[in-house]
A and B are shown apart, each in its own frame.
Chain A
Amino acid sequence: SQKIEQNSEALNIQEGKTATLTCNYTNYSPAYLQWYRQDPGRGPVFLLLIRENEKEKRKERLKVTFDTTLKQSLFHITASQPADSATYLCALINTDKLIFGTGTRLQVFP
């Protein structure tokens, strides 16, 4: 069956360090993969999109990699700040709809 897995355990890191979140998928061949941020009580907010022919994408302190052989995407936040604390969701695009992972909660402490 099709599945998207993200580390369900919270990731706790110290301010200034790099946070790395993992998204693994099975039985999909997505052309695109997106990462979203979700804060408590709010809807997901789009962060980055990466295409299957792109190995890496950057936006300010964010970096996403996409390995279609390993069926994995990594999401990095460099120089992390307490304001980066949130749940991060990866999502595959399947025709018109998004297929989400369960998300990983990131906590950045001072």
Chain B
Amino acid sequence: EAGVTQFPSHSVIEKGQTVTLRCDPISGHDNLYWYRRVMGKEIKFLLHFVKESKQDESGMPNNRFLAERTGGTYSTLKVQPAELEDSGVYFCASSQGLKPPETQYFGPGTRLLVL
């Protein structure tokens, strides 16, 4: 069974540009999460989808970040316009059910560098 996949693996953009990250969860997993790790800090929660609905977006840093999960399958996270402080590793995770504690399966991450 394929795990969580993320694309691209790396992205280098200039400040002010737009970047879109993609996450494909494990097939059949209703829950999809986005997390981010900035340099030297811990991994932090950004948001949680249940199917196509946003369950919790309390971790989204500001309105430059837009996450979507059309059709309840893959998800995209768009940063527009990107700022220097957006650099970091963006992880996606998925889990099957709703009743905690569900094991979250993480993708390899997208490494974003904003210059």
Contacts and interface: CB of A to CB of B under 8 A. Distances in A.
Contact of A97 (B41, B59, B105, B107): B59
Given A89-B43, A100-B42, A102-B42, A45 B56 contact: no
Interface stretch (A10-18, A36-44, A64-72, A75-83): A36-44
Contacts of A95: 56, 100
B93 A43 contact: yes
A97 B45 contact: yes
Interface residues of A, number: 22
Nearest to B50: A96
Given A43-B4, A43-B91, A43-B93, A98 B42 contact: no
Nearest to B103: A46
Interface string A2-42: 00100000000000000000000000000110100000011
Interface of A: 4, 31-32, 34, 41-46, 49, 89, 93, 95-103
